[in-house]
Amino acid sequence: MSAPIPPQARSKQLRACLLCSIVQHPMDFRREGCPNCEEIMQMKGTPDRIAVCTTTYFDGIIAVIDPENSWVARWQRTSKYVRGMYAVRVKGRIPEDVEAELENRGIKYRPRDQTDQD
């Protein structure tokens, strides 16, 4: 995917998706969008969108090698999150239009800063 970037350079700029909490470099969001929820978030090539759909306010990063089924999977063709780095807790809320889109699809949004578990 992207060329290796020194860890020091990455860590300060990493952003977490507000919907699935995957952690990526902003450049990855810009090039590929969110690997889990791009269909709804539509961040690819849109820095303004990335700014509202992702955040730098997150706690803890876990590497997910074999992700479990998740509520996000409901609209994904694949049944699982992609492998990658995920934030344990993400602060913030998805934009209203995204929440409305989820509602249209019969999906109830679950903010990632709550304590409920997948």
> Which is nearer to Zn ion, 53 or 103 (by Cβ)?
53
Which residue, among 64, 30, 23, 67, has the nearest Cα to 47 in the 3D structure?
Answer: 30
Q: Is 17 near Zn ion (CB under 5 A)?
A: yes
Residues 43-72 that bind Zn ion (CB under 5 A): none
Least distance (Å) from Zn ion to the CB of residue 118?
13
Instruction: Give me the helices (H) in the chain, please.
Output: 7-13, 26-32, 38-41, 47-53, 96-104
Q: How many residues bind Zn ion (CB under 5 A)?
A: 6
> Which is nearer to Zn ion, 6 or 17 (by Cβ)?
17
> Which is nearer to Zn ion, 10 or 42 (by Cβ)?
42
User: Which one of residues 23, 24, 33, 34 is an interface residue with Zn ion (CB under 5 A)?
Assistant: 34
Q: How far apart are CA 74 and CA 37, in angstroms?
A: 10
Which residue, among 48, 63, 58, has the nearest Cα to 18 in the 3D structure?
Answer: 58
Which residue, among 34, 2, 1, has the nearest Cα to 15 in the 3D structure?
Answer: 34
Least distance (Å) from Zn ion to the CB of residue 40?
8
Of the listed pieces 32-40, 61-69, 76-84, 105-113, which binds Zn ion according to CB under 5 A?
32-40
Asked if 44 and 79 touch (Cβ cutoff 8 Å), the reply is: no
> Which residues contact Zn ion by CB under 5 A?
17, 19-20, 34, 36-37
